[in-house]
Amino acid sequence: MIYLDHAATTPLHPRAREAMLPFLGGEFGNPSGLYAVGRAAQAAVDDARQLVAGCLGARPSEVIFTSGGTESINTALLGMAYAMRRAGAGNHVITTAIEHHAGLHVAQHLEELGFDLTYIGVDASGRIRLEEVEAALRPETVLASVMLANNEVGTLQPVAEIAALLRAYAQARHHRVLLHTDAVQAPGWLPLDVNALGVDALSLSAHKFGGPKGSGVLFLRRATPFRPLLHGGGQEMQKRAGTENVAGIAGTAVALEAASTGIAERAARVRALRELLRDGIIATTPGAQPNGCQVNCLPNNLNIAFDDVESDVLVSGLDAAGVAASSGSACSNSTWEPSHVLMAMGVPIRRAVGSVRFSLGESTTREEIEAVVALIPAEVERARAASLVAGRLAG
């Protein structure tokens, strides 16, 4: 199999697996236990927190371990919005039209709870404009949530510039607006420094960077207004109740450390492979064109639209040929609806429903890319000839 869906999930890093193994066997203690095996588990969690903090430029007390990116995003948005409204600061939240569903759906939930939401649009490259963020600010604005890198097309957003804008707004108006970013797709490809980004909260998912599924990270800056989403015990510094997933936490920390090392070299090598794939497909396959920004983007993410093709049919054909790719966000593959990201970018629906995401990884080779380029034209023709495609796309 040629695996080109690293944006959906990544193989477990060998070092992460090694770090997890003791806690899947003899070191099975509950970190809350006062006895030796419990203290050993707590020490492992503490060490992991220290390691993750170092990777992010944060304090250990600002690192919260969660069950994954979805929980981290939900916890950040709900926890900060609730706290700010409870303090009387307001009930207006700003986000973008191209967030992952973990962000969009919680934004819709906030609306149901009485919050006022503004959804910022994007240009044809998938990028928001700072002027629109500034224009959306109101005296009652309490939170903005803007993803760092889009999971479907890879476009990067100006998060640090938004943070600077919000700081200037706070100084001028004496009104603080919190900033969260979904950075799930960034580790391994972009340097992550919470102080350089200027964010109050940042969400990560371990399985996107060589860690285990079911484990995530939420950075929450010290003194940020916050109310817990999960209530129960006093774990995670009273911010996230529930017995810690010690094995997952240990693997997450080691995987993040590995992903944070050698970023420039990794990104340069994989970007060259991405461009080889893009240029090869466009040169050999009529009716193929890329979606999203091709410069200010993740080095491993390539979204290609194929005219007169239904993406699920093409992805199925590629799978049969031994290539794993995606028809969009892995969390929405059970529906045929076109990508909300591509629609927000103004991509015509006939192109949007024929778009495929290829996401490369550190293990991707030039030989694999050349093999994919060679088989794409025939697979596209087969997909175009499929009766399902003709039935859905005609008229």
Question: Quick check: is 99 in a domain?
Answer: yes
Tell me the three state secondary structure of residue 329. Answer: coil
Residue 77 lies inside a defined structural domain of this protein: yes
Strands of 288-291's sheet, edge to edge?
Answer: 288-291, 301-306, 355-359
Residue 389 lies in a domain: yes
- Is residue 148 domain-shared with residue 234, that is, in the same domain? yes
Whether 246 and 303 share a structural domain: no
CA–CA separation, 307 and 353 (whole Å): 9
Domains in the chain: how many in total?
2
> Is 4 within the bounds of a domain?
no
Q: Are 367 and 271 contained in the same domain?
A: yes
Q: Are 236 and 276 in the same domain?
A: no
The answer as to whether 9 is a domain residue is no
Contact in structure between 127 and 78 (CB atoms under 8 Å): no
Q: What pTM value is reported for the model? A: 0.95
Q: Within this chain, do residues 210 and 302 fall inside the same structural domain, yes or no?
A: no
Residue 8 lies in a domain: no
Query: What pLDDT score was predicted for residue 337?
Result: 76
- The token pair that represents 294 in the structure block: 């091709």
Which residues belong to the active site?
331
> What integer pLDDT is reported at residue 338 of this predicted model?
86
Residue 333 lies in a domain: yes
Rounded distance between C-alpha atoms, residue 279 and residue 53, angstroms: 39
72 with 200, same domain: the answer is yes
Contact 29, 389 (CB under 8 A): no
Check which CATH number belongs to the domain holding 64 and give it: 3.40.640.10
Answer yes or no: do 174 and 287 share one domain: no
Whether 6 maps to a domain, the answer reads no
Closest CA to 353 of 303, 282, 295: 303
Tell me: do 250 and 282 sit in the same domain.
no
* 254 and 300, same domain (yes or no): no
Residue type, 269: R
State the residue range of the domain holding 287: 263-393
Q: Are residues 157 and 62 in the same domain?
A: yes
Q: Of 235, 259, 283, which residue constitutes the final position of a domain?
A: 259
Together in a domain, 249 and 284? no
Give me the tens of pLDDT residue by residue for the chain, a chain 395 residues long.
Answer: 999 999 999 999 999 999 999 999 989 999 999 999 999 999 999 999 999 999 999 999 999 999 999 999 999 999 999 999 999 999 999 999 999 999 999 999 999 999 999 999 999 999 999 999 999 999 999 999 999 999 999 999 999 999 999 999 999 999 999 999 999 999 999 999 999 999 999 999 999 999 999 999 999 999 999 999 999 998 999 999 999 999 999 999 999 999 999 999 999 999 999 999 999 999 999 999 999 999 999 999 999 999 999 999 999 999 999 999 998 644 545 556 789 999 999 999 989 999 999 999 999 999 999 999 999 999 999 999 984 545 655 44
Q: Where are the alpha helices (DSSP H) in the chain?
A: 14-20, 36-56, 69-86, 101-112, 130-136, 159-173, 194-197, 235-238, 246-259, 263-284, 311-320, 340-344, 349-352, 366-385, 387-393
Residue ending a domain, among 243, 259, 275, is: 259
**Cα–Cα nearest to 247, from 69, 59, 29:** 29
Residue 296 belongs to domain with CATH number: 3.90.1150.10
Q: Which of 259, 278, 307 is the last residue of a domain?
A: 259
Per DSSP bridges, beta strands 301-306 and 355-359 are: antiparallel
Query: Do 254 and 336 fall into the same domain?
Result: no
